[in-house]
Structure 1
Amino acid sequence: MTADSYQDRLQGSTLPLNAAARRLDVHGAVQGVGFRPYVVRLARELGLNGWVRNAGGHVIIEAAGTPESLNALAARLPAEAPAQAVVRDVIVTDLDDRMARLHGRRGFTVGASIARSGRRDFPPDLAACEECLRELFDPADRRYRYPFVNCTACGPRATIITELPYDRPQTTMAPFPLCAACAAEYTDPADRRFHAEPVACPACGPTLRWATSCDTSDSNESTASGDDALTAAVGTIASGGIVAVKGLGGYQLVCDATRTDTVARLRAGKHRPAKPLAVMVADVAAARQLARVSDVEAELLTSVARPIVLLARQGDRHALAAGIHPQLDEVGLFLPYTPLHHLLLHDLARPLVVTSGNRSGEPIIIDDHEARTRLGQVADAFLTHDRRIRARYDDSVARVVAGTGSVVRRARGYAPAPTPLPRPAPRPLLAVGAQLKHTFALASADDAIVSPHIGDLSNQDTFTAFTDGLAHLSTLLSIRPTCVAHDLHPAYISTQYAARWPRNRRLPVQHHHAHVASCAAEHGVTEPFIGVAYDGLGWGDDGTLWGGEVFLADLTAYRRVGRFGTAPLPGGELAVRRPARMAMGYLFGGERIGAGMVDPELAASFAGRFDEQEVATVRRMIDRHVNSPYASSAGRLFDAAASILGLCDDVSYEGEAAIVLEATAGGSGGRPVDTGELPWKVVSSSGMWVYDPAPTLMGLLRGVTDGTPVHRLAASFHATVTAVTLALCIRAAQLSKVSTVCLSGGVFQNRRLVTELRAALGDEGFTVYVNETVPANDGGISYGQAAVASARMNL
């Protein structure tokens, strides 16, 4: 066709004579965030004709108009996209004259979605927006007090998607046909609910239900519904009851956070004697009545992710029940993120405990029948609804360290947003993570998608949650892994799961290398770095247990150049649960390096606090090497210090002893204590620099004997670990001329330690990175495994 005949054919259309047509393929998190309505409004503003549609996990635009308008569309798409959209790339293709004529019609619309293969992204759940909240509390609005109000800017996403593309029929909203009023909003490009897939109202959407019995028979299914159900829940909580509430990503147990008796009953029912409970408050002003909240912390609290934020307590110490956070000066607060939460807080006008609907060690419950069965002994009643939860998402936890936000538990609000990989994965990859705080990751091309927090894989229900979550997420993302990265520890359930794969498709990654690689990768570090990995326990490549390690590393390999001195764990796992045994391990069987010695009288004085038979048994186990594996663990050293100071001889949750030790030192919320260091020594041994903890522990014991205040000794211990780490990093730098340090591992959840260490390393000219978007604890291991495996596959 000649140019003249083409122009002649355009004479009868609405397109100008210089019209062109282009296809734009937009990749990224562009479904479920109001992207198609945004494209329609932008295209109409530019005078373009055509359509936009979801295709698999991305968006396709076909538009016709002037070249200038089409150029403007491509330029403005990523720059002006909705706040929660993430545009990774826009691929522009010129269309032939046939497509130009096809779009020579008036208007720009949303086309029917189509299924496509290839990489897909979808967004996390979004906290209720201000416009929807105004409707929620407006008596004149048709959605007044409707707990499922949402729009394209907010509401459920990841928890309701059953398959992609993201359209209402592919969500758990499918059973709720739109009423005429909602359908009009849904199809109106000028309305903020234009193609908001979870859109609903009291006439056509989900309904609250109330039941006071855990009996799951039909006769007891519901005794009230709608606002009456909400009123019943408010009355029960106000009178000291515990209500199991069906939330976005699972059931939650809710009660009055000011009632000591109720909180104690909740703890007993959950089998959670001491681990802190999260408290939900109405707004930042309410949070500031209970805790110190910096500007950065306020931003974190009010972010669309709405994580639980760990904050330093202040104000009236009796404003919350004593059992909320035993022994700690830190409290986890978060703001309401669903309309239902807002209604509960508004009607009750008090802080609420809002904690995972499960028993200790189990995954959060999402099934209605299971909730009745398992939570019936904890909850007095159930506030549920008839919208199914498709995917399990617990609440996220975050904190601010040295002015920067960091994620402690990555789940609702953050997952499953992709995290970039510095070295792209040349083949689809599964990283199965560790054992505790388990997550898995799926890697494809430039990104890894880390699953939401799952839990402890030793629990059968948690393992089932892992396999179910993996099947669902891999299907949604259209990622079919061809190889698997895993930990070295042979007893990890995740390692055993990986062993099902053929040997030539398995990529083992050492635990602590995965830790430091997770930090390096999220900051885009691809050159060699000094990796400091401090945690509880991880399997070393020599078959022993590690946990206090300094590496010279990159994303593909590492060399161990420093470590903590080893000590036996008398009883193995029992020593992890009983820091007193760990302290005895250091005192009676710790590695003797150089001139480091333990004073027998001081050791005997400490042992005198305990039953003689236990002490004798522990000593025999150590002397005979019976069930007493040695470990170079920083985490276990913190446990031993906490026990020596009389702070924590037994723990009921992971990290309890170290958390109490930090709180005692003033690092969590009390006034920081400025103290000197305890004695310490770093010596050369077998080609490595080794920290001998014996002088430090002797310093603690002497301080206790001399009556030095425990808070000063706890602060001195932190200062000592900082000084030791600095010394090890300086020696590593002298070996390598490397000046970048990556800190990772569960011990670096200690705010005081990280703050002091970053300052000390910075003063020596080091560039220091810590985990921010993925957890420093084992929740970040899967991402680190994915980063290492991807880098190795690129060699």
Structure 2
Amino acid sequence: MDAAWRIEVHGIVQGVGFRPFVHRLATSIGIRGRVRNAGGHVVISAAGPQPALEAFVAGLRAQRPGAARIRDVIVTRGTPDQRASGADAAGGELTLETGGEFAPAAGFEIVDSDLTSEAGSEIPPDLATCADCRRELFDPANRRYRYPFINCTACGPRATIIESLPYDRERTSMRRFAMCPACAAEYHDPADRRFHAEPIACASCGPRLRWQAMTGDAALRAAADAIAAGAVVAVKGLGGFHLVCDAINEEPVARLREIKARDGKPLAVMVRAPVVAGALAALSDADRALLTGPAAPIVLAPRRHGVLSPGVCHGMPDIGVFLPYTPLHHLLMDALRRPLVVTSANHADSPMPIDEVRGLAVDGVLTHDRPIVARYDDSVIRSFGSRSITIRRGRGLAPALLRLPAAAPPLVAVGAQLKSTFTLADGERAVLGPHIGDLSDAETLEAYDQALAHLSRLHGIEPVHAAHDLHPGYLSTRLARRWPSRIAVQHHHAHVAAVAAEHGLRPPFLGVAYDGLGLGDDGTFWGGELLLASYTGYRRLGRFSRAPMPGGEAAVRRPARMALGYLLGGELGTGPARGRLPGPAPGRLPGSGSGGLPGEEVIARMIARGVNCPAASSAGRLFDAAAALLGLCEVNGFEGEAATRLEQAAGGFPGTEPLAWRLERRDGLWVYDAVATLRDLLEAKADGEPVGRIAAAFHATVAAVTVLLCERAAAEHDVTQVCLAGGVFQNRLLATGVLARLSAAGFEPYIGERVPVNDAGISYGQAAVAAARLSPA
């Protein structure tokens, strides 16, 4: 006798061709039944011999579409009950006695979605154009030849067009485009790869490009001609508008920087194929896999010297490269056949526009009439050998669900001030929203509110609690006041908890949190911390020595101020150090001339009197100071520039021995004497050591100190799991060095991979902490 099973499949199973796949799989095995979307998951009613049903369930995982991600498969087994219902027994239906699900006695079908349930909903990320669609795009015999919105069940827009769930065409921004008979026939044909492809369209019925008064292919060719002639063009893409220009021609690159008000930060470059990307950057196998995967992110890799305009990277060591991920990009790249700068069409850190381009002096706008429902900037990933870390989580990655270590009541974690994101949580599911930007103006705040409201509605999460940073001045902290129940989470505890939660670690664990600045629970600024942590709390075991920041924020922008803070007002800096003996602190900074650094005497008096000189135990500020003392960076033109230039200088000197360093027991904590290292750095420079070798020795020092701090903590607390967190660990040289040393010392090291290690991952860590604190267990 046949059995009847009700099967729920949870995960990324909508918008990835999952229902057509289920139909094909069931038909091939001889399973009868139906499949439908329900909220954000898929429900299958299946009937057939038990061995066939078991093979069917196994095939759901083993043969799933490439972009699908299955989190849970829940099977309810029932006994069949045949009933005639006006027909003979052979034409009746099978029902589950326990679930009330019906399966037809013959055939398998895709039925209309269940609109009554959104529990467990999951939004599919956008998918890069697949190989089949690329072939059709450039096939003159195909009816979608050169159509810039070609897609199928394996590729195309998803998160950027979804208005509500379940994911069906009528609940996306494609609902305003009625399918022509040819597209409708493909959509309803189970044998077609566009069977139930919700964004299906063609030139007869779908979205259309516009450039001035031109539309369609003429508009695209006109825009390409303008770019080839040196224009800076705004192009409406998948998740917002980009600025596009020739990456080889210095003049448009310089004008693009002027338009964006972006001085030194490198610009991303789009290329036609992986081989071209390999000519511009030293790509690993992991980099190539990322470039060609369905997320198609920007990949940061060491740049090669080549044909690009010097203004693209401004001398920085890495270049961000990516491949075309929409048909429109493929057509532009085919027409221009050169690398293009493709970067968000915004001023500095304001949000990327999605409706129109305002206030930017571009030479033209290539737009289209498919509305963008949700803003998604391009994702950015950097690989570390076999590992990769997410720098920015956006298009192609967000808003895929993450797990929490404890079931949470409905809550929102509002994140930090910089690299702002939010996380919505309910039960064990967490939705880490896309990159928004720095919360600095009304426009960014509006974009934050829109994204939060959109994802809250889609996932059916109405927060009753808000988790936020300790810093009362953060705009995100002020946002949290909208909710009556609030949970304050220390900045570095959130960093560490984010890594632990991503990897599903059970506490306790050690947390190494290295970043710029975060308010500590003692009222001082932290940033070079060793924590013994669980999800509910932490204990500070070690830190970097403190130094004053002359002028506060001005010391972040001017690394030389930070160097003076360490040398003239650093917390320690006395006594013997391991390795080299530190030389005397100099009276002037290197390269400052006989007159010294402009304003140096004023800064010295500020430090001596403690005027506007907040103290910080920050790894990020220590890297700034080292870069300044080696003459590598006078002004941080963008966040992390000094540290990046220090890493760049160190790259040619692998295996360098550390500089002087010392640990001191102070107020129950292990404290790293950073001044001893900086004094030794200056002595090495005075001895004529190459700047690159000294920079490498500085990195080796921080890595050695990190492992020693962990060893001291492990000896006292018997903990071997170590979470590396904070923006400083975006430094490839430091992160790989620390990971290798920790592994060699017998630790289990972890670093954020899907969740950014920088402040963009803070909200997920806040959610993990808040969930644990609110959990009744």
Q: TM-score range by the shorter chain?
A: over 0.9
Residue-by-residue CA offset, 1:426-479 (whole Å, 9 max, x unaligned) = 312211111111111112222311111111012221111111100000111112
**Are residues 181 and 561 of structure 1, via their aligned partners in 2, closer, same or farther at CA, if it must alter by over 3 Å?**
same
**Equivalent position of 2:32 in the other structure:** 49
Contact 1:408 1:777 in 2 (8 A): yes
- Report whether the alignment pairs 1:235 with 2:225: yes
What pairs with 1:502-541 in structure 2 (closer than 5 Å)?
502=484, 505-541=485-521
- Report whether the alignment pairs 1:701 with 2:682: yes
Q: Which moved more, 1:433-442 or 1:47-56?
A: 47-56
- Report whether the alignment pairs 1:321 with 2:309: yes
Shift of 1:230: 0.8
Residue-by-residue CA offset, 1:617-636 (whole Å, 9 max, x unaligned) = 22232222222111000000
Distance 2:55 2:15 in 1: 24
Distance 2:679 2:372 in 1: 54
**Equivalent position of 2:269 in the other structure:** 279
**Equivalent position of 1:469 in the other structure:** 451
Contact 1:485 1:789 in 2 (8 A): yes
Q: Which moved more, 1:599-608 or 1:18-27?
A: 599-608
Shift of 1:228: 0.6
SS at match of 2:25: helix
Distance 1:605 1:100 in 2: 83
**Equivalent position of 1:194 in the other structure:** 195
SS at match of 2:109: strand
Distance 1:735 1:248 in 2: 52
Letter in 2 for 1:527: P
Contact 1:52 1:111 in 2 (8 A): yes
**Equivalent position of 1:261 in the other structure:** 251
**Are residues 697 and 60 of structure 1, via their aligned partners in 2, closer, same or farther at CA, if it must alter by over 3 Å?**
same
Letter in 2 for 1:277: L
**Equivalent position of 2:588 in the other structure:** 604
**Equivalent position of 1:183 in the other structure:** 184
**Equivalent position of 2:145 in the other structure:** 144
Residue-by-residue CA offset, 1:119-158 (whole Å, 9 max, x unaligned) = 2012100000000000000011010011100000000000
Distance 1:508 1:526 in 2: 22
Residue-by-residue CA offset, 1:739-794 (whole Å, 9 max, x unaligned) = 22111100000000111112222221112111111111011111111122222233
Shift of 1:573: 1.1
Shift of 1:402: 3.3
Distance 1:96 1:561 in 2: 64
Contact 2:269 2:320 in 1 (8 A): yes
**Equivalent position of 2:110 in the other structure:** 110
SS at match of 2:412: strand
Distance 2:400 2:563 in 1: 42
Contact 1:119 1:479 in 2 (8 A): no
Q: 1:75 pairs with 55, 58, 62, which one?
A: 58
What pairs with 1:410-559 in structure 2 (closer than 5 Å)?
410-421=393-404, 423-502=405-484, 505-559=485-539
Distance 1:562 1:512 in 2: 13
**Equivalent position of 2:342 in the other structure:** 354
Q: 1:337 pairs with 310, 315, 325, which one?
A: 325
Contact 2:187 2:195 in 1 (8 A): yes
**Equivalent position of 1:567 in the other structure:** 547
SS at match of 2:313: coil
Contact 2:591 2:631 in 1 (8 A): no
Letter in 2 for 1:793: L
Distance 2:353 2:125 in 1: 19
Q: Which moved more, 1:427-436 or 1:606-615?
A: 606-615
Structure 1: 5+ residue runs without aligned partners? 1-17, 212-222
Shift of 1:593: 5.6
**Are residues 21 and 600 of structure 1, via their aligned partners in 2, closer, same or farther at CA, if it must alter by over 3 Å?**
closer
Shift of 1:672: 3.9
Shift of 1:611: 6.4
Q: 1:367 pairs with 339, 347, 355, which one?
A: 355
Distance 2:678 2:644 in 1: 18
What pairs with 1:722-741 in structure 2 (closer than 5 Å)?
722-741=703-722
Q: Which moved more, 1:617-626 or 1:289-298?
A: 617-626
Q: Which moved more, 1:340-349 or 1:75-84?
A: 75-84
- Report whether the alignment pairs 1:100 with 2:94: yes
Distance 1:719 1:664 in 2: 13
**Equivalent position of 1:641 in the other structure:** 626
Shift of 1:608: 4.2
**Equivalent position of 1:217 in the other structure:** none
Q: Which moved more, 1:684-693 or 1:21-30?
A: 21-30
**Are residues 104 and 719 of structure 1, via their aligned partners in 2, closer, same or farther at CA, if it must alter by over 3 Å?**
closer
Q: Percent identity?
A: 57
Shift of 1:206: 0.4
Distance 1:608 1:22 in 2: 78
Letter in 1 for 2:566: Y
Distance 2:13 2:720 in 1: 39
Distance 2:539 2:74 in 1: 42
**Equivalent position of 1:657 in the other structure:** 642
**Are residues 604 and 596 of structure 1, via their aligned partners in 2, closer, same or farther at CA, if it must alter by over 3 Å?**
farther
Shift of 1:490: 0.7
**Equivalent position of 1:781 in the other structure:** 762
Question: So what's the TM-score if we normalise by structure 2?
Answer: 0.94
Distance 1:230 1:117 in 2: 40
Contact 1:594 1:683 in 2 (8 A): no
CA RMSD of aligned residues (A): 1.8
Contact 2:118 2:459 in 1 (8 A): no
Distance 2:238 2:56 in 1: 35
Contact 2:4 2:48 in 1 (8 A): yes
Residue-by-residue CA offset, 1:87-122 (whole Å, 9 max, x unaligned) = 222333336545527644543222111211322012
Residue-by-residue CA offset, 1:498-520 (whole Å, 9 max, x unaligned) = 12222xx2121111111111111
Distance 2:649 2:342 in 1: 26
Contact 2:9 2:74 in 1 (8 A): yes
Residue-by-residue CA offset, 1:70-100 (whole Å, 9 max, x unaligned) = 3433332233221211222233333654552
**Equivalent position of 1:13 in the other structure:** none
- Report whether the alignment pairs 1:161 with 2:162: yes
**Are residues 623 and 225 of structure 1, via their aligned partners in 2, closer, same or farther at CA, if it must alter by over 3 Å?**
same
What pairs with 1:239-254 in structure 2 (closer than 5 Å)?
239-254=229-244
Residue-by-residue CA offset, 1:189-229 (whole Å, 9 max, x unaligned) = 00000000000000000001003xxxxxxxxxxx2111111
Distance 1:686 1:726 in 2: 21
Distance 2:589 2:200 in 1: 67
Distance 2:294 2:317 in 1: 27
Residue-by-residue CA offset, 1:653-701 (whole Å, 9 max, x unaligned) = 11111011101111xxxx3444222111111111111011111111222
Q: Which moved more, 1:507-516 or 1:88-97?
A: 88-97
Distance 1:611 1:665 in 2: 27
Residue-by-residue CA offset, 1:577-610 (whole Å, 9 max, x unaligned) = 1111111111222113653799766133549457
Shift of 1:528: 1.4
Shift of 1:327: 2.3
Contact 1:584 1:607 in 2 (8 A): no
Distance 2:419 2:81 in 1: 53
Distance 1:613 1:413 in 2: 47
Distance 2:113 2:386 in 1: 43
Structure 2: 5+ residue runs without aligned partners? 84-92, 96-101
Q: 1:289 pairs with 272, 279, 283, which one?
A: 279
- Report whether the alignment pairs 1:768 with 2:749: yes
**Are residues 37 and 615 of structure 1, via their aligned partners in 2, closer, same or farther at CA, if it must alter by over 3 Å?**
same
Distance 2:332 2:553 in 1: 42
**Are residues 104 and 338 of structure 1, via their aligned partners in 2, closer, same or farther at CA, if it must alter by over 3 Å?**
closer
SS at match of 1:676: coil
Shift of 1:23: 2.6
**Are residues 456 and 509 of structure 1, via their aligned partners in 2, closer, same or farther at CA, if it must alter by over 3 Å?**
same
Question: So what's the TM-score if we normalise by structure 1?
Answer: 0.92
Contact 2:136 2:144 in 1 (8 A): yes
